[in-house]
Amino acid sequence: MNEKLTCLRNKIRTMDLDGMIVSNPVNIKYLTNIEAEGTLVLARKENFFITDGRYIEEVQSTLTIQDEIIVCDVKDISKEDFENFFLFCENIGFEENYITYSQYKEFIYKYKINNFVETDNIIEKQRAIKDEEEIKKITKACAITDKCFEYLIGTIKKGMTEIEIANKIETFFKENGADGLAFDTVVASGSNSSKPHAVPTQRKIQSGDIITIDMGCKYKGYCSDMTRTIFIDEINNEVKQVYDLVLKNQKQTLEAMREGLLCKNITKMVVNDFELHDFSLIHALGHGVGLDVHEIPILGTKSEVVLKNNMVITDEPGIYIPGKFGIRIEDTVVVGKSIGIPLTKSTKEYVIIKN
């Protein structure tokens, strides 16, 4: 069987489950490479992918014999067939964080499930630690993102709108080998930069602006995520001090992103330093990155997760002064044995655009 499925099957056995229903399409893609609407059923011995006529051909051509997955057209499955998938099974796992309450009820009824058991992000936890192939894809997505930042430094001019810059980023990604955007680009200039999740507006870039650019692309399904805050013509001293404080913490966090450290302890380090300077950290310090741009672990002050080698996470401290300005600096990072290794490598020195 394929390695990722084997690993999952071993895991569910230790949880005393006789099978599992996988519904989250990203988890299905991770386990099988299939990108189609449908349900992956891990029965006691066999694996089934239940889909419909639109996808059968496509799915068959994606799978190999090693995958050991039987593809079924939902219209050929009778009421009795559904009930037979888990015949003589007791405990069947499901993704309680993905399926809706109505799907939960429907599955129990349709598959005649005795005991439908929550699996506590079992697949997402497996996804958190990346293999070599996955890290390669994320590295490539990050390299495209770095190239885009370099291009932006030469392209951004006073008079351009935030939306124009966001469009340039999207076009650059598409023309440079990315599948597309990993998430909606943030281009927040002037006082807009004080909103961490600002949506690009028609505001025109002007002298004295601070611009926060949070962008990422996908390469073969895998995401990058990087933020840089840049300046037009000048930086005043108040802003410089905040920038330096954010950068110092971003670098310290990078060093702390190593195997064995607790997410909450890394986060508290930043929270404490910000508070010492009368600021606060109003969002998470980082999050996992992979097939989704937001994955586990979340780096928050309550997160008991211990970092493991080859997790890929972001390091993104930010300070926001409402109505005035904001500074965020973010890299995508691989957790290493002794230090975090940034995959996004764009400069974090002051970038001041003069033109």
Check residue 98 for interaction with a second copy (CB under 8 A).
Answer: yes
Which string of b and e fits 319-345 if b means at least 16 CB within 10 Å?
bbeeeebbbbbbbbbbbeeeebbbbbe
Give the shortest CB-294-to-a second copy separation in angstroms: 11
- CA 313, 348, 195: angle at the middle one, nearest 5? 70
How far apart, in Å, are the Cα atoms of 151 and each of 23, 172, 173, 346?
A: 40, 9, 11, 11
Q: Which of 78, 79, 88, 197 binds a second copy (CB under 8 A)?
A: 197
For the CB of residue 345, give the shortest distance to a second copy in the complex, in Å: 27
Do 254 and 246 contact (CB within 8 A), yes or no? no
* Interface residue with a second copy, options 114, 167, 252, 301 (CB under 8 A): 167
Binding of a second copy by 207 (CB under 8 A)? no
d(CA 33, CA 275): 45
Q: How far is the CB of 234 from a second copy (least distance, A)?
A: 26
CB-based contact 251:172 (threshold 8 Å)? no
Q: Is 177 in the site for a second copy (CB under 8 A)?
A: no
Q: Which of 322, 338, 349, 355 binds a second copy (CB under 8 A)?
A: 322
Minimum distance, C-beta of residue 199 to a second copy, in the bound complex (Å): 8
Look up residue 316 and give its amino acid.
E
Q: Please report whether residue 33 would count as binding a second copy according to CB under 8 A.
A: no
Tokens of 107: 């599955």
Please give the size of the binding site for a second copy, defined by CB under 8 A: 27
Please tell me whether residue 165 binds a second copy under the rule CB under 8 A: no
Residues that bind a second copy (CB under 8 A): 52-55, 57-58, 94, 96-102, 104-105, 118, 167, 174, 194-197, 282-283, 322-323
